[in-house]
Amino acid sequence: MSFFKNLFSKPLNITLTVTSSNGFHLRPVAQFVSLAKSFPCNIDATFHDKTVNAKKVNALLSLSLEKENTFTLSIKGKDAKKALHALNTLFLSLMKEDVEVKNIEKTSHSYAKASYEGDIIAKGVAIAPLYAYQDEIIHHTNTLPFSEAIQLSIEDLGKSDLDINLAQKELLLGLQESATTLEDLEAHITQACQNLEGTKLSAKIVDYQDILQRVKSHLGIEKKLIFPEHDFILLANDLLPSEIEILSQSKVKGVILKETSINSHTAILLRAAGLTSLIINQALKASQEDVILDASAAVLVIDPTEKDLESAKTSQDEIETQKEQASEKRFDKALTSKGHTINVYANVGDVPSAKTAKEEGAEGIGLLRSEFLFKEVAPTFEGQSEAYSEIFSLFDDITVRTLDVGGDKNLPYISLEKENNPFLGIRGVRLFKTHLALLEEQLHAIFLAAKSKKLKVMFPMVSSVEEFTHAKSLAENVAKKQGLDISNILFGIMIEVPSVLFLIKDFNDVVDFYSIGTNDLTQYLFAIERTHSTLKADELSPVIFSALTRIVTESTKPVSICGELAANDKAIKQLVNLGLHTLSVSPKSIAQTKEIIRHV
């Protein structure tokens, strides 16, 4: 019945207007298509008199939608209403987030004569000879069938964390349906590139070329870049996104591109790699002598005088100093642009990492992974107590986690029965069942080292309220037996087992705090082992964010987050906006996490 209803129903229409100055380009299109594909209904996009399937990246890109263009989405079939609502919401947020990269402001310079001026991709000053891009094509004999080469390329791109690669994957998925040979693929790509030429989306041509090269390399046609053994500034028309990683490992000091834009993927990746680079749209020649590429002042000086070289070196020193100053800000509070303070704590495993955390600007310890305190040999009670005392003296606010052994974490001095599924077996708080004496000794050492200091003790892998209350009462018994007052200790849990998501209201009555362990929570939500070499759960999946929303909404006790997600630059804004105000990250990520928060 509903099949016929859907079949004969009228399509739902909505008009969408591109508001981003970048146009509706590859990365947002890829995200849009990925959501569109999750609905069973037909979804078409019409602009002027051209209608395309909105579930295909290359089709949607072929509309060449630019700022102020309005197109119509026409949705028909099952779940059309839901799809319309979801796509409209996503489109509006994509447009809002996709801010234009403004021309970077130039600094002034005092060179005798600037030979060329350009547009800045990434600031910095480089002094080295100019070297023109060179590559060679190598034909290998062990070739794969075309379909396998495409499949492997899709898999490679899917493994990457970069939006750019995921967008390229969507493009290739679209091309996979229509190309059955390399010649077919080349023809489709040539056509797509011709359609893009001269439009505002022409920067995406390199993505198509990159895809083609990736497939070719799986077919045994490898393109090898040739770099000199000495420092150099690279001259190239453009670079493929995949070439930038290889370039970063060479002796490159700077890059000058002729045919790209400051919004291109190449430019984004050069900035991310921190490579001094400029766009100069003129023919330049390789040189034997040093030139000055001052990308901060947006100039290239071909025959520098002694004075020019001195001045360039002074600029280099100044840039170095600026970097150091940024690092000095690591001890400043992390305030969002609206003035909210976010606590940035550290995840540590032993005394040296706790000291590093202090030097890197941590404001507390959000997770002390006590299983890493003594790795080789079983510690004595005194040894444990001393290590805890030393760490506790470093910060005011500290959360210690009781031993989280099991799964992929085994200690040579703790015997665990061999299990078929160790991640689902004796692990974390479940050790209270099998290794009670060990945990009692640990709790005793912690309580003694805490003296009267306020301290948080947390249990890992808790999956039910009873598990927590049992562990807490065992801890209280230890204190009673030893005649210790533990009124200074708060007790909480890691949220890393999905059952807890449905028990928060009950936990609120018994715990003092929560810390979200997204590493395990992700593993258990997707049933993908976190150490698996082929399978990889997406920690940025909406599933994770809806789990986090649920926790924050239902909890009446303080919640922090200590999984790797807390330092993920793509997640921090959302985490903060969700109401998570304590992020605990690895010591080396503290300065950067604070800096990102300052822009939220």
Q: For binding to ligand PEP (CB under 6 A), which residues are involved?
A: 367, 369, 404, 496, 517-520, 562-563
Q: Which residues contact 596 (CB under 8 A, 6 or more apart)?
A: 569, 572, 573
Q: Which does residue 518 touch among ligand PEP, Mg ion, none (CB within 5 to 8 A, set by kind)?
A: ligand PEP
For residue 372, the minimal CB distance to Mg ion (Å) is 13
Cα dist from 348 to 52, 109, 139, 374, 400, whole Å: 52, 45, 49, 13, 10
Q: Is 539 in the site for Mg ion (CB under 5 A)?
A: no
**Per-residue contact track with Mg ion, 400 to 439, x per CB under 5 A?**
----------------------------------------
Whether the Cβ atoms of residue 468 and residue 462 lie closer than 8 Å to each other? yes
For residue 340, the minimal CB distance to Mg ion (Å) is 28
Give the nearer residue to ligand PEP in terms of CB position, either 208 or 468.
468
d(C-alpha 152, C-alpha 170), whole Å:
14
Whether the Cβ atoms of residue 30 and residue 167 lie closer than 8 Å to each other? yes
Q: Which does residue 290 touch among ligand PEP, Mg ion, none (CB within 5 to 8 A, set by kind)?
A: none
The per-residue DSSP string of 392-427 comes to: HTT-SSEEEEP---BTTB--TTS-----SSGGGSS-
Taking contact as CB under 5 A, which single stretch among the options 449-457, 463-471, 483-491, 492-500 is the one that binds Mg ion? 492-500
The backbone torsions φ and ψ at residue 334, rounded to the nearest 5 degrees and listed phi first, read -95, 100
For residue 495, the minimal CB distance to Mg ion (Å) is 10
3-state secondary structure of 159: helix
Give the nearer residue to ligand PEP in terms of CB position, either 124 or 428.
428
Strand partners, 301: 292
d(C-alpha 27, C-alpha 166), whole Å:
8
For residue 446, the minimal CB distance to ligand PEP (Å) is 17
For residue 504, the minimal CB distance to Mg ion (Å) is 18
Q: Which residues contact 70 (CB under 8 A, 6 or more apart)?
A: 15, 16, 17, 18
Q: Which does residue 207 touch among ligand PEP, Mg ion, none (CB within 5 to 8 A, set by kind)?
A: none
Give the nearer residue to ligand PEP in terms of CB position, either 358 or 409.
409
Taking contact as CB under 5 A, which single stretch among the options 115-123, 165-173, 331-339, 519-527 is the one that binds Mg ion? 519-527
Q: Is 371 in the site for Mg ion (CB under 5 A)?
A: no
Residue whose entry in the numeric block shows the structure tokens 């190309």: 179
Q: Is 564 in the site for Mg ion (CB under 5 A)?
A: no
* CA-CA-CA-CA dihedral for 155, 158, 160, 162, to nearest 10: 140
Q: Which does residue 315 touch among ligand PEP, Mg ion, none (CB within 5 to 8 A, set by kind)?
A: none
Taking contact as CB under 5 A, which single stretch among the options 223-231, 333-341, 513-521, 588-596 is the one that binds Mg ion? 513-521
Give the nearer residue to ligand PEP in terms of CB position, either 55 or 401.
401
Select which of 25, 265, 435, 444 is catalytic: 265
Give the nearer residue to ligand PEP in terms of CB position, either 263 or 515.
515
Q: Is 587 in the site for Mg ion (CB under 5 A)?
A: no
> Has 193 been annotated as catalytic?
no
d(C-alpha 583, C-alpha 572), whole Å:
9
For residue 369, the minimal CB distance to ligand PEP (Å) is 5
Q: Is 496 in the site for Mg ion (CB under 5 A)?
A: yes
For residue 243, the minimal CB distance to ligand PEP (Å) is 35
Instruction: Identify which of 101, 133, 121, 99 has the alpha carbon closest to the alpha carbon of residue 272.
Output: 121
**Residues 254-287: b if buried by 16+ CB within 10 A, e if exposed:** bbbbeebbbbbbbbbbbbeeebbbbbbeeebeeb
Q: Is 406 left (phi over 0), alpha (psi -120 to 50) or beta?
A: left
> Has 265 been annotated as catalytic?
yes
Whether the Cβ atoms of residue 128 and residue 233 lie closer than 8 Å to each other? yes
Q: Is 517 in the site for Mg ion (CB under 5 A)?
A: yes
Q: Which does residue 369 touch among Mg ion, ligand PEP, none (CB within 5 to 8 A, set by kind)?
A: ligand PEP
Taking contact as CB under 5 A, which single stretch among the options 65-73, 143-151, 482-490, 510-518 is the one that binds Mg ion? 510-518
d(C-alpha 160, C-alpha 162), whole Å:
5
Among 207, 290, 363, 520, the residue binding Mg ion under the rule CB under 5 A is 520
Q: Which residues contact 357 (CB under 8 A, 6 or more apart)?
A: 346, 348, 365, 394, 587, 590
For residue 519, the minimal CB distance to Mg ion (Å) is 5
Binding site for Mg ion (CB under 5 A): 496, 517, 520
Q: Which residues are catalytic?
A: 265, 562
